[in-house]
Chain A
Amino acid sequence: MHAINYEAPSTIDQAVAILKEHGENARPFCGGTDIIIQLRAGVRRTSHLVDIKKIKELRTLSFDAKKGLRLGAAVPCIEISESDVMRKHYPGLTEAAHLIGSLQIQNRASVGGNLCNGSPAADTTPALIALGARARVVGPVGEREVPVESFVISPGRTVLKPGELLVELLIPAPAPHSSDAYLRFIPRNEMDIAVVGVGASVTLDGDKVKAARIGLGAVAATPLLETKAADVLIGKKLDDANLEAAGRLVSEVCRPIDDMRGTIEFRLHIAAVLTRRALTIAAERAKKI
């Protein structure tokens, strides 16, 4: 690996200052489970790593029944899957965090890092999109909020400008009779990158869909928010016919590639299958709330 510098500031302002000073040559550093690999492989040549794990605000996970969830960008995935609050209110996002890599990885990797890495196949991003999460970003010229579905602009690249730092993810409180689910397809039962990932949140009105959001991973250059299928479901029951239709609409918006993880044909098929399954699970959960 080329020579690097490492700093571990304890406040957001310090972090932003360092990031600003080194611009394109600096990157925030959290779990390191992606960036260390990228630096070794030479696909990133970052010279300054800014460890954000010592910044309190970035390590806090807090839930409020009205305001919803504030998820610090540096909270490791393991703290999410071990949190009763998360399991109760955001089971889909919790599943996604629990699916990332091995326990060794989950003990280091964060949802924020997963998003900032900008991979189209990130497991937690479709789950965040389904929940309507927003990213709170602080930079040299103040702060802004970005909807998660527009955070990644191309593989490995995000809306973050030099000097900007993802501080936390803001997720609305779940509406009554609503819940979420995340499913990914991998060839093995662990340790793989999603071939396709589908996050779904469903709000029910009796046995009919009141609202739905679908987030898609690994089916395009960036994670996607799918709206067509979600819209046609509104006011309908989640019976086989409607699920079939939703699945078809989802595979229409997918623009996947052929690679060592799956063919275009396969990904389109799986996207529809996982959409049906994720919607069904989310609805089942919503009924119980």
Chain B
Amino acid sequence: MAASTTTGNFKVIGTRPIRHDGVDKVTGRAKYGADYTFPGMLHGKVLRSPHAHANIKSINIDKALKLPGVKAIVTGKDLPKAENKLEQAGEMTINPMYLSMNILAHDKVLYDGHAIAAVAATSPHIAEEALRLIEVEYEVLHPVMTVDVATKPGAPILLKDLRNKEEGDKETNVAQHYQFKRGDVAAGFKAADYVIEREFNTAMVHQGYIEPHNAVGIYNSDGQATIYCSTQGAFDVRSLSAQVLGMPVGHIKVVPAEIGGGFGGKTTIYLEPLSVLLSKKTGAPVKLVMSRSEVLRASGPTSGSKIKVKMGATKDGRLVAAEIWMAYEAGAFPGSPVGAGAMCIIAPYTIEHFQIDAYDVVVNRPKTAAYRAPGATNAAFASETIIDELAEKCGIDPIDFRLMNAVKEGDAQVVGPPFKRIGLIQTLEGVKNSPHYKSKLTGKFRGRGVASGFWFNAGMQSSATVNIHADGTASVVTGSPDIGGSRASMAMITAEVLGLDVTDVRPITADTDSIGHTDVTGGSRVTFATGMAVYEAAKDAERQLIERAAKVWEKKPDEVEFRDGKLHAKGNGVPPMSIKQLAPRFPRTGGPITGRASVNARGVGPGFATTCVDVEVDPDTGKVQVLRCTIAQDAGKAIHPSYVEGQMQGGTAQGLGWALNEEYFYDDKGTLRNSGFLDYRMPTCLDLPMIETVVVEEANPGHPLGVRGVGEVSIVPPPAAVANAIFRAVGVRMTETPMSPPKLLKAMLKHRSSTQHSAAAD
């Protein structure tokens, strides 16, 4: 089911060809980072802190070095000094000093799992045994695990040099304050008939990609290094590793392996510089692969948060005012996505008066990394629950209530500038008209909830080349690691422009020396920005084809046109020429044809999604079963609909896991107690229904093919949709994620006793 405003009749785009890397991936041939081996390769393991917060008094590696098979050990002292300032690095801004401190602790450990030393040995088992022989002396400090503790006066300070503009030269755990304001909030609330105010708490959660982080580093005596790893951004791995290692960017080549999921978590570095450092010390290739426990303890989950939302609406269902306070756990170093969360939290609605204050707070947890629409899901859990409650107060259907307040083209965004063409209303109508929403939900303890979500999507830099081969087929080369089928989309765009069969186009993901700079596979940007570069590169090839045909026909280029994959001479009856026919004449007409394009993409089209969930609650245990789920999302233009649906379904599944059972569970010492897939409970096949999709295609005017990007916004609505469904099933408003059985049961029992009391009182 799809609603499309995208014009242009396409031959390839919108079809569902088999992905070009498919056979390799169903036969086990595809090479992921951990699959690389080299002659003489050593294996590395990382020693990690058992403490959440401690000073390192001493590290003794002598015993470990004596273990037969151990070749080298590195600690924080082996890293060059790094500067404490903000720098631009691809998608994100970085602080070189904090980045370095996260790769190997300098003089302090800041979370359970913080890397302290790395060992290279002849087998992973020996490296692991060596870790047990490294002696570290700690001065254990009080762990700071939540924003509440971190912001209390006199709280232990994590980073002695951290300052923020407002507090001047005072030591603090608050790294940043963002504020967004419009109109007169007090006046706004005066105009409201209903005002709802609640506090929400969301637990820290992990992206949960199945492939652990990995890296193989090879350092050559000439000072050149090569890194093979599974990453969302080879160019970022290169610039960040160069930064940490104090090497020139040009001396590092990063070869992106196939990647087993990332969802934002593989946009930064952990093992990559260690593999180079150990290779430099040993003269051999060194491979490091994280264990699952290391991934959960020491990679980059997304922030837990505390959010207070107060919103007002008039009787007739108009949102008039919002006052919001939000604080996100950044982890051990500054940089939670709270700013993005603040810009998303009321983005879907026109609200005349609002003030949003957002705080980035450091705590003794792993440094957070990006996770699918970073910051937006926490925010939407809070705002979309309040919206639902206001709709209920007004006695208006939750979808109609949202439609009455939905943003459309020309409305101001939270940050000020007006929206261009957007598709929120279409996603709301998509759900409203879906078989799911039209169906009647019957049965006890069952409820239906809806929620909407917003994400900006990203542009940034991408490069592409299109090579026309001697037989008229083509290859399209980009720098975007293919994390969910993007190769197919790049080949389809090339095939569409050049009128080729999609199987005649071979899509390639190149290393950092073989293609121009390309920012991360993230921000829903590959099909948008890299797709734009591919489109331009194919157009460049088309221009060259026209020139060549003109030469062959002894005409001027403007007397030749390219139509339906064929070159046509205007006027007289020269028969049209296909690329296959022209290709053999490339040598005599000027040589090979390579189309090139690099972009710093503008014209980003924001994404909206609306999700509807039916749940059934076990009244005796608080266990929630998702019975049915539908998501409508604006793709702009769906290049390969199957993989667009796949992104919508995958993000929804992650959102449902976030809603129900996923959470970082730390004990009072700040030790992570569920650092494995047994107790970090991601949804299994048995926990989810089929996920119905409505692909909305509200063309993005900023893209030659109308593409917006679909990777992220699908994760935003589910937690709120589930909370709203639970309310309709059992009458309690959940304000905490995960809405796990113990929490929901407690809320239900409290609700029952209170309703009994009030009943008794009547």
A contacts B directly in the complex (CB < 8 Å)? yes
Residues of chain A touching chain B, judged by Cβ–Cβ distance below 8 Å, are: 1-3, 42, 185, 187-193, 195, 259-263, 265-266, 269-270, 273
Residues of B close to A187: CB separation below 8 A: 623, 660-661, 681, 740-741
Does the CB pair A188–B679 fall under 8 Å?
no
Give the docked Cα–Cα distance between A263 and B674 (Å): 15
Interchain CA distance A1-B129 in the complex, whole Å: 7
- Evaluate contact between A188 and B686: CB separation under 8 angstroms: yes
**Is the pair B673, A260 in contact by a Cβ cutoff of 8 Å?**
yes
Contact A1 B125 (CB under 8 A): yes
Interface of A is mostly: loop
Q: Mark B600-637, 1 if CB is under 8 A from A, else 0.
A: 00000000000000000000110101000000000000
Contacting residue for B665 out of A260, A269, A273, CB 8 A: A260
Given contacts A187-B623, A187-B661, contact A260 B679 (CB under 8 A): yes
- Inter-chain CA distance A66–B129, complex, in Å, is 53
Contacts of B661 in A (CB 8 A): 187-188
Residues of A within 8 A of B294 (CB): none
Task: Report whether B740 and A269 are in contact in the complex, using a CB–CB cutoff of 8 Å.
Answer: no
| Contact across chains for B687 and A189 when beta carbons are under 8 A apart | yes
Say yes or no: B684 contacts A191, CB within 8 Å.
yes
Q: How far is the CA of A129 from the CA of B463 in the complex (A)?
A: 66
> CB within 8 Å of A: which of B452-477?
none
**A192 near B678 (CB under 8 angstroms)?**
yes
On chain B, the residues within 8 Å of A185 by CB distance are: 621, 623, 741
Report if A266-B128 is in contact (Cβ < 8 Å); known contacts: A188-B681, A259-B673.
no
Tell me the chain B residues, 680-737 only, with Cβ under 8 Å from chain A: 681, 683-687
Given A190-B686, A262-B742: A273 in contact with B674 (beta carbons within 8 A)? no
User: A188's contact among B128, B683, B742, by CB below 8 Å, is which?
Assistant: B683
8 A-B pairs with least C-beta separation = A260-B665, A189-B686, A266-B742, A260-B674, A273-B620, A260-B673, A190-B686, A187-B661
B192 within 8 A of A: no
Q: A42-B132, A260-B673 are in contact. List 9 more A-B contacts (CB 8 A).
A: A2-B125, A185-B621, A188-B661, A189-B686, A191-B678, A191-B681, A195-B741, A265-B742, A266-B745
Residue of B with least CB distance to A272: B620
Query: Are B741 and A266 within 8 A (Cβ)?
Result: yes
| Neighbouring B residues of A193 by C-beta, 8 Å | 678-679
Whether the pair A265, B684 counts as a contact (CB closer than 8 A) is: no
Least CB distance, A41 to chain B, in whole angstroms: 8
A35 to B576, alpha carbons, bound, how many Å? 72
Determine the interface band of chain B, counting residues with CB < 8 A from chain A: 20 to 34
A260 contact set on B, CB distance < 8 A = 665, 673-674, 679
**B77 interfacial contact with A, CB 8 Å:** no
Q: Can you list 7 A-B pairs with a CB-CB distance of less than 8 A?
A: A187-B623, A187-B741, A191-B678, A191-B681, A259-B673, A260-B665, A266-B741
User: B570 interface residue, CB < 8 Å from A?
Assistant: no
CB within 8 A of A263: which of B620, B673, B685, B742? Answer: B742
Closest chain B residue, CB of each to CB of A195: B741
Q: Does B746 contact A (CB under 8 A)?
A: yes
The minimal Cβ–Cβ distance linking B132 to chain A, given in whole angstroms, is 7
Q: Give chain A residues whose Cβ lies under 8 Å from the Cβ of B741.
A: 185, 187, 195, 262, 266
CA A262 – CA B679 in complex, angstroms? 11
Report how far A265 CA is from B750 CA in the complex, Å.
13
Given contacts A187-B623, A266-B742, contact A261 B687 (CB under 8 A): no
Contact of B746 among A2, A189, A265 (CB under 8 A): A265
Nearest opposing residue in chain B for A196, CB measure: B621
B684–A261 touching, CB < 8 Å? no
Decide: A269 near B745, CB < 8 A? Known: A187-B740, A188-B684, A191-B684: yes
Distance in angstroms between the alpha carbons of A191 and B676 in the assembled complex: 12
Is the CB–CB distance between A192 and B681 below 8 Å?
A: yes
When C-beta atoms are compared, the residue in chain A nearest to B620 turns out to be A273
Note all chain B residues with C-beta closer than 8 A to A42.
132
Which of A3, A193, A261, A265 has its CB near the most chain B CB atoms (within 10 A)? Answer: A261
Residues of A within 8 A of B660 (CB): 187
Nearest Cβ on chain A to B689's Cβ, whole angstroms = 12
**Given the complex of chains A and B, what is the CA–CA distance between A265 and B621 in angstroms?**
12
Distance to closest chain B CB from A272 (angstroms): 9
Cα of A188 to Cα of B746 in the assembled complex, Å: 18
Q: Which residues 638-685 of B sit at the A interface, judged by CB distance below 8 A?
A: 660-661, 665, 673-674, 677-679, 681, 683-685
Chain A contacts of B678 at CB under 8 A? 191-193
Please give me the residue from chain A that is nearest to B666 by CB atom. Answer: A260
B665 nearest CB neighbor, chain A only: A260
Q: Which A residue sits closest to B677, measured CB to CB?
A: A191
Q: Considering the chains assembled together, what is the distance between the CA atoms of A191 and B687 in angstroms?
A: 11
Chain A residues with Cβ below 8 Å from B132 are: 42
Q: Which residue of B lies closest to A262 (CB)?
A: B742
- Contact B684–A190 (Cβ < 8 Å): yes
Q: Which residue of chain B has its CB nearest to the CB of A267?
A: B742
User: Do B686 and A261 have beta carbons less than 8 Å apart?
Assistant: no
Check if A270 sits within 8 Å of B681, measured CB to CB: no
Query: Of all chain B residues, which has the CB nearest A185?
Result: B621
Nearest residue (CB) in B for A189 is B686
Whether A1 pairs with B128 at a CB distance below 8 angstroms is yes
Give the residues in chain B near A188, CB-CB below 8 Å.
Answer: 661, 681, 683-684, 686-687
Residues of A with C-beta under 8 A to B745: 266, 269
Q: Chain B CB within 10 Å — which of A188, A190, A260, A261 has the most?
A: A260
Question: In the assembled complex, how far is the CB of residue B620 from the closest CB belonging to chain A, in whole angstroms?
Answer: 5
Q: How far is the CB of B737 from chain A (nearest CB, A)?
A: 13
What residues of B have a CB within 8 angstroms of the CB of A189 in the complex?
A: 625, 684, 686-687
CA distance A2 to B128 in the complex (A): 8
The residue of chain B having its C-beta at the shortest distance from the C-beta of A42 within the complex is B132
Q: Nearest-CB distance from A161 to chain B (Å)? A: 29
Q: Which B residues touch A195, using CB under 8 A? A: 741
Q: How distant is the Cα of A266 from the Cα of B621 in the complex, in angstroms?
A: 8
Q: Complex formed: what's the CA distance from A270 to B129 in Å?
A: 42
